[in-house]
C-alpha cells in the first residue's frame, strides 16, 4: 500500500515520525531510530532536516523531542516540567523561582520563564515560547527538591518551605 506523502516530509521522515508516534515515544534518542539508516551520516542528515523543518527539537546531546504529525501547522506544546525533566535526564536538578511559587500556589499568574537549578548546565534555552534559565547550584542544595508527578511523569521541584523563602 502506498503511503500518501505529507507536504514537506519525505517518505523516510514520515516513516520515522510514524513509528515514534505509534510507540508514543515523543522523547527519543538516536538509538531509537538508527535501524532506519545504513550509517550514522545518513541518520545525522535526516535528523538535521527534521530539525530544520520543525518536526523535532534537540533537547540535549542525546535526546530529541518529536513534534507529532497531528500538530496543526507544526505547533505543539509539552508541559514545561516534563520538558525540563527530559532535558536533564531526571537527575541533579530542581525547578525553583517563580515556577515553583506557581506550582505551590503562592502566585496565580503562570510565569513565562522557568528557573532550573542544576549541577550540570548553565545558560538559557527557549523551547515552545518558554524560556528556561539554567542556574548553577551545589549538590547540597539539591536536597531542597521534592519529587512530584504530572501526567504520569515525575519531576523535581523546590520544596514548599524553600519556595516560601523566595517570596519577599
Each residue's pLDDT tens digit, 138-167: 999 999 899 999 988 999 999 999 898 877
Q: Are residues 47 and 64 in contact, defined by beta-carbon separation less than 8 angstroms? A: yes
φ and ψ at residue 69, rounded to 5 degrees: -60, -30
pLDDT at 46 over 90: yes
pLDDT at 72 over 80: no
Given this model, what pLDDT does residue 75 score?
56
Residue 50: half-sphere exposure toward Cβ, Cα within 13 Å: 25
Q: In terms of C-beta distances under 8 Å and separation of at least 24 residues, what long-range contacts does 136-139 make, across chains too?
A: 139/92
- Output DSSP code: residue 142: G
Read off the pLDDT of residues 101-140 as tens digits, 9 standing for 90 and up: 999 999 999 999 999 999 988 999 998 788 999 999 999 9
Instruction: Please tell me the class of the 11-71 domain.
Output: mainly alpha
- CA-atom Rg of the chain in angstroms: 18
Q: Where are the domains of the chain?
A: 11-71, 80-166
Partner residues linked to 56 by β-bridges: 66
Query: What 3-state class would DSSP assign to 165?
Result: helix
Q: What is the mean pLDDT of residues 87-113?
A: 94
Element holding 71 (H helix, E strand): none
Given this model, what pLDDT does residue 52 score?
92
The DSSP secondary structure of 3-41, one letter per residue, reads PPPPTT--HHHHHHHHHHHHTT--EEEGGGTGGG-SSHH
Amino acid at each position: 500500500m502506498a503511503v500518501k506523502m505529507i507536504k514537506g516530509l519525505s517518505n523516510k521522515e514520515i516513516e520515522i515520525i510514524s513509528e515514534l508516534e505509534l510507540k508514543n515515544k515523543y522523547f527519543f534518542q538516536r538509538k531509537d531510530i538508527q535501524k532506519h539508516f545504513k550509517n550514522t551520516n545518513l541518520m545525522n542528515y535526516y535528523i538535521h532536516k527534521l530539525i530544520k523543518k520543525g518536526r523535532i527539537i534537540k533537547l540535549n546531546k542525546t535526546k530529541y523531542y518529536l513534534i507529532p504529525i497531528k500538530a496543526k501547522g507544526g505547533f505543539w506544546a509539552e508541559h514545561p516540567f516534563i520538558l525540563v525533566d527530559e532535558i536533564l535526564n531526571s537527575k541533579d536538578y530542581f525547578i525553583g523561582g517563580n515556577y515553583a511559587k506557581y506550582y505551590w500556589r503562592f502566585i496565580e499568574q503562570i510565569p513565562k520563564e522557568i528557573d532550573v537549578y542544576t549541577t550540570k548546565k548553565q545558560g538559557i534555552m527557549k523551547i515552545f515560547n518558554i524560556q528556561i534559565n539554567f542556574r548553577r547550584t551545589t549538590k547540597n542544595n539539591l536536597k531542597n527538591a521534592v519529587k512530584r508527578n504530572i501526567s504520569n511523569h515525575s519531576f523535581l521541584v523546590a520544596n514548599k518551605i524553600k519556595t516560601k523563602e523566595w517570596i519577599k
